[in-house]
Structure 1
Amino acid sequence: MIIGAYEAMPYLVECLASVEAQTIDPGRIEVITVDDGSTDGTGEYLEEFAARAAMPVTVIRQENSGGPSGPRNVGLGKAAGRYVFFLDADDRLGPEALERMVAIGDRNGTDVVLGRIEGVNRGAPKSMWGRTLERTDVYSSNIKFTLSAQKLFRREFLTRHHMRFDESLWTGEDAVFTMEAYLRADGVSVVADHTCYYLVGRDDGKHVTKSGGYALRFDSARALMNLIAELVPPGERRDQLMLRPFLVTLLPQFGPQYAKDSEKVRRHKLELAQPLMDAHWNEGVAAQMKVGERLRLHLVARQRAELLLSVVEFVRAKKQPAALLERRGRRVYIAYPHFRDARAGVPDAVYLAGAREARAFPGYREGGTPSVLRRAVRRARRALRSSGSATPGGRAAAA
């Protein structure tokens, strides 16, 4: 258990209480805490905890490093257990969390274990908790949408791949670390039927993910995209993973805040996005998005600042675009701004809804693409017509 802490009081009190309350044998828990230059009594409280805790606790006090990567790497260098779990000092574990996660990891021999996360006064990822998965991977589940560091990692696995947090990143460093672990892991397990971790919203707003300027988000997106491109060959699987940094990290930079940004900031955001779009944006990634998402990133890729601003303002106003059904309801276009505006020149395909999005519109008919069976029947009919026309009277010749 590695706990990096900076100015963590009073949240640290409940955090450590949740560690003490774990049902797994205390002798099996090794706690390594790193006080990253706190001035609010965090270091002193960690030492008090170490003096009374039933499990072995190491307290390391260091000058402030400026981010969570340094303390996590220090703790990782000291860890000696079979597994490593990164616990943030303002969050807390759920009851039985370690016991359940270690059990499923041992049962399946997996290198990474995810425990269900819930938010307290803040949001939390939800799409990956549909059911408990004994063994899965990053392509067969939605785990790519939870890339925080609060996972159970097999320590030997991290050591074998020389994995550490990137201390040059001020935000999103855990996303790069966790995605690399997903990609290199011999299986991932998911505990979905029991809350293992509580993400706690601080009243003072001192969350690393909420701090720092917008340029740091582009650094984070670049690092994650480059990692995916390095480890996954071009094709459907790479596109599937690229959706995450485009959707979660890059797109919010062109959300409602973009309309309130100065002209200078808007121009800078487009400049920062350009190399990322040139390198990694393609039809495979775009096809996975909803129309409003795809349209904004298409305009970012084309550097169409004047069109992008009007689309963002439309989204910011929470307006509902009209839908146009064509081909007897089998094709749905969602008419965001500039749809079929000849002067704008945005292709119709950008506005074409995928099946999941199209189902929300009355009159939509599934099956715009013929099924395999239907295509086979059509081929058979064409073959019969062809063989029949080659004989007198239009009948097929006898065998």
Structure 2
Amino acid sequence: MNDKQVPDVSVIVGAYEAMPYLIRCLESVEAQTLGADRIEIVAVDDGSTDGTGEYLEKFAARTAIPTRVVRQANSGGPSGPRNVGLGLAEGRYVFFLDADDYFGEEALERMVTMADRAATDVVLGKIVGVNRGAPGSMWTRTADRVDIYSSQVIFTLSAQKLFRRELLERLGLRFDETLRTGEDALFTMEAYIRGKGVSVISDYTCYHLVGRDDGKHVTRTGSYALRFEATGALMALIARLVPPGPKRDRLMVRPFTVGLIQQFAHGLMRQPEEVQRHKMELAAPLMARYWTPEVARRIKVAERLRLECVALGRLDLLRDMLDFVKAETKPEVVRKGRARTPYLAFPHFGDRSTGLKDASYEVTVPDWVGRPGLERIEAPRAARRRRSPLIRVARRIRTHVRTRWARWTRYALPSS
């Protein structure tokens, strides 16, 4: 594009058996308020047999948006088409648009404006589900910049975001084609950690995440073994990029609570015993390497206890926890010690023979007793301070300075 304006956004569409959803998807790109002269589309048909490739070529021939179409043999997953599209992209930013989904009309204009104003490398535009769920905790407010170590953005690691292409090229960042699931989580987490900031748009729905009627959405595929592999890869990435400490602990909450724990939900008890034991075996090295008391304290008690049972390799204890929660039993709140520290008396509380410690039952983050709407238990201030070593150090320094100043002013200054 030597004689043409560099597009603001390259919209990369990887498509496989995408009809008829692809029609609305591409129409939503044409409807963007950003303008056709500021967008390009790079579409990759990954060996479809339902007319997806033919439709892409017809669309490219008639649309005002510069569109490149690549048709290739099926690669077996979304990473290959996305990487091909990224290699051809020329825009200042890229957006990975799934062929099943569609944009809000102002999505690209708002996201580009945000990225340019805030000078951030990643922009999250509000996502809503259509016939399916979608992450929601990160859409509380629009923000030019958020801290990934304290905000909820780590709980949306899908690829449907605006990325500054210079960042991706500088890092050589591509989707891992060896993974059959979870590849977008690695890509996005690395961009979060190594980029120059993350912005959030919450006051406008930028992206509609569509649940297909035929059940062929890619996130529904993949065996549990592949999901353990993806979770382990995300944990390894975090450990490689972030030094030990509170920041790493915070990021590790994500793969443990969105990834690993799903393999040990209520449905586990309906699975064959060999599958249950195999899952425990797959989890064992991940728990041994990455599960720490500091990570555990950042997780609510009911989830923490399930993970503690997995760490101990105790299916029998895990079954007791799952049965207790499934029965919607309200655990007793037990307060101990001078600080009246609250504990939730889930099964085996106080039974040291199990290997579960009292600390596993302690309320260290705001928690609910039973279902939401019942009693809310706040973590004591002392527990909250234990989660923040830097705050403790700062308070010690402040106390020391104040003490020395008081002594100096009392004894060193001359009387008036």
Instruction: Name 1:11's counterpart in structure 2.
Output: 21
Instruction: Name 2:411's counterpart in structure 1.
Output: none
Would you say 1:357 and 2:357 are equivalent positions?
no
CA distance in 2, matches of 1:28, 1:369: 51
Matched residues, percent identical?
60
> What runs of 5+ residues in structure 1 fail to find an aligned partner?
384-399
CA contact (8 A) 1:334 1:353 kept: yes
Would you say 1:232 and 2:242 are equivalent positions?
yes
Offset at 1:353?
Answer: 1.3
Cα 1:21–1:67 change in 2 (3 A) is same
Offset at 1:309?
Answer: 1.8
Instruction: Name 1:396's counterpart in structure 2.
Output: none
Would you say 1:257 and 2:267 are equivalent positions?
yes
Per-residue CA shift, 1:81-121, capped at 9, x if unaligned? 11100000001011200000000111121111110111111
The amino acid across from 2:56 in the alignment is: L
Instruction: Name 2:284's counterpart in structure 1.
Output: 274
CA distance in 1, matches of 2:188, 2:353: 44
Cα 1:369–1:241 change in 2 (3 A) is closer
Q: Secondary structure at the match of 1:54?
A: coil
CA distance in 2, matches of 1:370, 1:266: 35
CA distance in 2, matches of 1:181, 1:367: 34
Would you say 1:47 and 2:57 are equivalent positions?
yes
The amino acid across from 1:198 in the alignment is: H
Pick from 303, 309, 320: which aligns with 1:293? 303
Q: Secondary structure at the match of 2:32?
A: coil
Offset at 1:361?
Answer: 3.6
Would you say 1:324 and 2:334 are equivalent positions?
yes
CA distance in 1, matches of 2:131, 2:39: 29
CA distance in 2, matches of 1:11, 1:35: 14
Would you say 1:199 and 2:199 are equivalent positions?
no
Instruction: Name 2:198's counterpart in structure 1.
Output: 188
Q: Secondary structure at the match of 1:65?
A: coil
Pick from 9, 14, 30: which aligns with 1:20? 30
Q: Give the TM-score normalised by structure 2.
A: 0.86
Pick from 111, 132, 138: which aligns with 2:142? 132
Q: Secondary structure at the match of 1:38?
A: coil
The amino acid across from 1:151 in the alignment is: K
Offset at 1:326?
Answer: 3.4
CA distance in 2, matches of 1:141, 1:274: 29
Offset at 1:218?
Answer: 0.5
CA distance in 2, matches of 1:281, 1:83: 36
CA contact (8 A) 1:183 1:231 kept: yes
Cα 1:130–1:2 change in 2 (3 A) is same
CA distance in 1, matches of 2:236, 2:377: 42
Instruction: Name 1:341's counterpart in structure 2.
Output: 351
CA distance in 2, matches of 1:6, 1:256: 33
Q: Secondary structure at the match of 1:306?
A: helix
CA contact (8 A) 1:127 1:142 kept: yes
Cα 1:289–1:346 change in 2 (3 A) is same
CA contact (8 A) 2:39 2:66 kept: yes
Cα 1:329–1:120 change in 2 (3 A) is farther
Give the greater-gyration-radius structure (CA).
1
CA contact (8 A) 1:30 1:81 kept: yes
Pick from 87, 90, 99: which aligns with 1:89? 99
Q: Secondary structure at the match of 1:30?
A: strand
How many aligned residue pairs are there? 377
CA distance in 2, matches of 1:75, 1:236: 37
Per-residue CA shift, 1:2-40, capped at 9, x if unaligned? 000001111111111111110012011110000111111
CA distance in 2, matches of 1:345, 1:251: 20
CA contact (8 A) 1:330 1:365 kept: no
Instruction: Name 2:8's counterpart in structure 1.
Output: none
